[in-house]
Each structure stands twice: as C-alpha cells, then as structure tokens.
Amino acid sequence: MRRRARFAAFTLAVGLLPVLLGATPSAWAEPIEPTPVPGTLYAQTPDLIGRSNGDVVASRRFSSPLYPGADIWQIQYRSSDSRGQAIAAVSTVLAPANRVPGGPLLSYQPFVNALGLQCAPSESLFGPDPTTGVQEREFLNLALVRGWTVAVPDHLGPKSAYGAARLGGQITLDGIRAAQRVPELQLGASRVAMAGYSGGGMATAWAAALAPTYAPEIDLVGVAAGGVPADIDNIARSLGFAPHQAFGLAFAAALGLEREYPDRLPITEQLNDEGIRLRDQVVNACTPVILATGAFKSAIAVSKNTSLVDSPEAQRIIDENSLVRFDGVPTAPILLWASDNDPLIPIGALRDTAARYCAGGATVEFDVVHAPQHIQAAFEGLPAALTFLNNRFDGVAAPDNCPR
C-alpha cells in the first residue's frame, strides 16, 4: 500500500493548488527551503559566476560496497531553475571497473517523493536503510555489469522542489554535460541514453523533449520513460479533494512547487493552523514521514480558503510543467511504456503525447503493459527498456510503431 501511495503524490499535487490559491493572499510568506545536509556537496557555497550550464563546480570521489567495483563520483555543477537563474545541482556518477574511454553513458532518473535533501539520490543510494533506493540499486548494478557508466542526478534540485517537472529535465541534461566534462571519466565522446519511471520518467521525458533546444550537443541515442504523468492536471482533477491516503505527498508537492515558484505560488500564506503544523512536520522529510503525517488529510482541512475556484496563475504553472502542452519533440528515439490498467496514472495523456511526437516526425515505440498497479508496470516494462537501451548503444536501428 505504501508503494502505491507514493506514486499518487505527484498527480494529487495540482488538486491542492486551486484550493490554496482561490483567494488573494493578504501578505506573502517565504517558503521554507530544505536544510543542507552536513558533509554533502549541498553544504558547500557554490561559485557559479561566469559558469555555463553543465560546468563542474566541485566533486568528490569514493567507492561503496553497494556498487561492487564501481568508481563513484559526486559532482556539483551549474544548472538553471525554471526561471533560467543559475543553481548548483548534484549528480552521482557510477563508473564500472571495465569501462572504456568513450563508452556508453546512461542518465538514470529515480523516482523521488520528498522535501528533504537527505532523501535525494546522492544520499539515498548509499543510505543504511536497505529499503531506501533498493529498486534503483538493482537497476544501477545491472547497468554497471553491462559496462555502462551511469549518471544519477538529484533532479529535484538544491531546493528539493518536488513537483517541478521541467526543472527535472534541465537538471538531467546538465548532469550529463557535467559527467562528460570530468576528464578522469573519459566520457566526452560517449553515446548517451536516458531512463526513468514515474516521477523519474517525467524528468526523463522532459529531458528528451528539451534536449534538441536546451542541449543539442549531447549525442543522445535513446530514451526509455515509463509511467510518465504527462498531464498532471487531468489526473489530479479525476482524484478530487476528498481525504486521501497519499495526501501528505500531494501537500509536499505543493510546497515543492512553491519553492520553485515563490513569487507566483504563495502556498504558505493560504495555510491555516493545521496546515502550518503539517508543513513544519514535512518540510525536511522523506517519503515515509510525509506519508504517515499527512495520511487521510485533505486540502480543505489545511487551508484558509474553502473555495474551489481555480487560480489562473496556478494553472499557468501547471501548464508550464505539462508535456501535453509543451511543443518540444524529441529527436532521439524514445520508448514510452505504461499500463492500461494503472489506477494512478491513466494512459491517455501519455498516449496523446506519443501521438504528438509521431506527428512531429519522432521515432517512437509506445508499449502497453497490463499491470493492475503502477509499480508493477515498472517491472513489466523494465526488460524491454533494457533491451531498447542496449540496442541504441549498439547502433541497432530503433523500432517505431507510429502510424505513418
């Protein structure tokens, strides 16, 4: 039940926004940003002056028994937020012992539903809790065995802006640039692929759509994205405003969007006393605490405003983070997969996105699985995704089931 609730979070987030923003705030309250974790790259003060997106600011190198034989780098690099302003992002690069110069580079975007920086992949992939990041570790070790170097960006950014989809795409692309600019990794001439599921699939799909204009120099040979919430507005509206087991994560996503758009989404100002208490409990929390604290609460219970009138500004931000409404088309071959039985992420929006990509001349393989739950669809699609990525690295012609 917990896994299923985790994936409902992003889709519920927008359902919260119209309630919190239906009234005009009397004053603007600053959102609370996450506390930097001591000893991590986030605790350092970055020097971004004169740097371009993807430029390396700081790095550290180590090994871990969780990834046997891998040479591990964590890189802090310049990226851009949703307003185009400079930020310092972090990516973890796992390089296999048998890598060759210019060998395959995979950017893997995990699903992350959190507001605390200690929950980011750069920390969770090495955490003492064996249930944290376990799915990602299995996938990463499979990639390492194949000789691929894997970059794993903290795609929620330095503010842990959970809910900001376009931001994740930009951080992903700049993380690839940064990995290719570390001389010791010898990735400058590498062919690149990307993969992710659910929230990680959203960052992956956004990176694919942005790449032709945002990072055209990357030799992107293939993209595999599954369970992508391509249009979170429609999904959220179908779920409504009743108390929900995953409300804590929906609430966290609204706070994350406020962090990314502080001058446009004054969420905090619209919270009542119960909402402030909940905010204070989750503002630096990871998924288990957020889920437990917010379970079966509702937007009405935590906000001053009881109106369900939509906020035009909230809707504009939602549209800015919708793949359905973004006009970019990937130029790299892309595999999209989803379940036609998924109770959390209806397949229609992703199917519409795939149809738009086909109409724009993209090479698209759209696969439908029949898993009854969102998490099961990830594992049902994984073997095909690995084969797809392997074939793209080997130069095999990409499949395409677009109607032509």
Sign of the torsion formed by the C-alpha atoms of 58, 224, 102 and 218: negative
DSSP secondary-structure letter at 303?
A: B
One digit per residue, pLDDT tens: the chain, 404 residues? 444 444 444 445 545 555 555 444 444 567 899 999 899 999 988 999 999 999 999 999 999 999 999 999 999 999 999 999 999 999 999 999 889 999 999 999 998 889 999 999 999 999 765 445 667 888 899 999 999 999 999 999 999 999 899 999 999 999 999 999 999 999 999 999 999 999 899 999 999 999 999 999 999 999 999 999 888 776 666 556 688 887 888 888 889 999 999 988 888 888 999 999 999 999 999 988 998 999 999 888 898 864 433 578 888 888 899 999 999 999 999 999 999 998 778 899 999 999 999 999 999 999 999 999 888 999 899 999 999 999 999 999 999 999 86
Q: How would you class 27 by CB atoms within 10 Å of its CB: exposed for 0-12, middle for 13-18, buried for 19 or more?
A: exposed
- What is the Cα–Cα distance from 287 to 293, expressed in whole angstroms? 10
The ranges assigned to domains in the chain are 2-28+234-310, 41-231+320-393
pLDDT tens per residue across span 186-215:
999 999 999 999 989 999 999 999 999 999
- What is the Cα–Cα distance from 39 to 56, expressed in whole angstroms? 18
Q: Which two tokens stand for residue 147?
A: 């000789």
Cα→Cα distances 224→35, 60, 327, 352, 391, Å? 33, 29, 19, 17, 12
pLDDT tens per residue across span 317-345:
888 999 999 999 999 999 999 999 987 78
Strand partners, 8: none
- What is the Cα–Cα distance from 320 to 327, expressed in whole angstroms? 11
Supply φ then ψ for residue 57, to 5 degrees. Answer: -100, -40
Contacts of 42 (CB under 8 A, 6+ apart): 36, 90, 117, 158
- What is the Cα–Cα distance from 56 to 215, expressed in whole angstroms? 16
Q: The domain at 41-231+320-393 falls in which architecture?
A: 3-Layer(aba) Sandwich (3.40)
Contacts of 56 (CB under 8 A, 6+ apart): 75, 76, 77, 178, 181, 182
pLDDT tens per residue across span 350-373:
999 999 999 999 999 999 999 998
Strand partners, 334: 223, 364
Sign of the torsion formed by the C-alpha atoms of 359, 360, 364 and 367: negative
- What is the Cα–Cα distance from 316 to 335, expressed in whole angstroms? 28
Q: Which two tokens stand for residue 5?
A: 């609730």
